[in-house]
A = this chain, B = another copy of it.
Amino acid sequence: MDDVLAYLDGSRDAQLADLKQLLEIPSISTLPERSGDVARCAEALAGRLRAIGMTTVEVARTAGHPIVYAEWAGAPGAPTALVYGHYDVQPVDPLELWDSPPFEPTERDGRLYARGAADDKGQVHMHLAALAAHLSTRGRLPVNVKLLIEGEEEISSLHLEEFIRTNRDRLRADVGVISDTAMYAPGVPSIVYALRGIAYVQLEVEGARTDLHSGEYGGAVANPAQVLCEIVAAMKDPRTGRVLVDGFYDRVRDLDPAERAELAKLPFDEAAYRDELGVPVLFGEEGYSTTERTGARPTLEINGIWAGFTGEGAKTVLPAKASAKISCRLVPDQDPEEVADLIERFVARVAPPTVRARLVRLHGGRPAMTPIDHPAVRAASRALERAFGQPPLFTREGGSIPVVASLDVLLGLKTVLFGAALPNCGMHAPNEWLDLDSYFRGTKAVALFLNELGSAPDLR
């Protein structure tokens, strides 16, 4: 593998320049006005895949944003890896908090700052660089590789399942591979063996037909913003941090003592974590550690809330309507539809008759787990140890990658997840960044992983 690794060392500047071009495209999937940019990003990605020598490359239309599909199938008899990633990104607001423009990739102190640098363009590009290194150096890959890079991950992968369902034969593989997760710490590679799912809803509370003058009408009708706050407040116990939505924990699989012991061994510095976030004190579900709270326990969080006058100054309005975006992170064996049902029932139970309250479902994804002794996990472990100089930690991830559950259900694939992003890298927030040393080591890890997979006889 020295030739492949040397190629990667020799082509760093070109890799970085190429990645920057991808990051310049504002492929924000949730904003209708950006759909042209999303399409442009798909084409740019497909162009690169053709250039590095993938034999089939296609920009597949969907009812939403396109899916980029590519394959190289020149290793008959060898295992097939299905690499999933996404080229769409989160919105950038509040824009004023960015130190450099989100779509002008900027290097500072060994980091590359841009929206999508970590989530997920930078990590998709890591795979492209590794494939290019193999193909340029040896003219072939150690295994068959299929790539499935979607443009709707940040909006709940709206059309991905349908694509997978209608392309089931074509997508057949032996293992799923995803790099859309963070390393445990700088220099510490990690393999994620469990992901939380998500149930994302919007609560709307309506009162009068129009906004009212709070002097004239204040006191006479229920205020939808007040009622919204009451409903939201009732959803969690402020003392224990427990979710109070009836039945919320019914399907939560308890952490067994062995796993709790393993998680407790992770080198987690609570004081440093707190100081980095800038919160006065950490807070979460009573009876669990921060590692467990963010990886192994379900949550309910307000993602947004709005009503009435929110500008400068004082407007004496009694709002006609109040809204909140609410998402739950789910763990095995919770089900997103069922959790949305529970919230809907809870709202119906606690909302007073003085307002109209309703729940809109925005999206959902199931939680997932991959056994630690899966052969692809072991292959990844060996590759990461060589690329980073130390064996990976095995962690649970708090975020949601619903496709992991889809690959399992629709294609029967277990997925191995390892990433090169670092904690606190600003995914979904201003000043998102990618650590360049981790990225370059990551390209080697992927190249080595493909090689390890090729000699994993128990995989097929």
Contact = CB atoms under 8 A, between A and B. Distances in A.
A211 interface: yes
A381 interface: no
Given A210-B426, A279-B354, A293 B220 contact: yes
Given A218-B301, A307-B305, A329-B219, A238 B352 contact: yes
Interface of A (DSSP majority class)? loop
Contact of A229 (B223, B228, B400): B228
Interface string A333-365: 000000000000000000011111000001100
Interface in A21-41: 30-32
20 contacts: A30-B314, A30-B315, A31-B313, A32-B312, A198-B215, A214-B303, A214-B327, A215-B329, A216-B294, A218-B398, A220-B283, A220-B293, A222-B283, A223-B301, A227-B238, A233-B233, A280-B354, A303-B317, A304-B307, A304-B317
**Interface size band for A:** 35 or more
How many monomers of this protein are in the complex? 2
B220 A294 contact: yes
A167 interface: no
A455 to B, nearest CB: 34
A214 B325 CA distance: 12
Interface of A: 30-32, 90-91, 93-94, 97, 154-156, 182, 196, 198, 200, 207-223, 225-230, 232-234, 236, 238, 241, 273, 277-285, 290, 293-294, 297, 299, 301-319, 322-325, 327, 329, 352-356, 362-363, 397-400, 423, 426-431
Of A282, A290, A429, chain B has the most CB atoms within 10 Å of the CB of A429
Given A216-B397, A226-B232, A232-B233, 19 more contacts: A31-B311, A91-B309, A211-B430, A213-B399, A214-B303, A215-B398, A215-B399, A217-B294, A218-B327, A220-B284, A220-B290, A220-B294, A221-B279, A221-B282, A225-B302, A230-B238, A302-B319, A305-B308, A316-B400
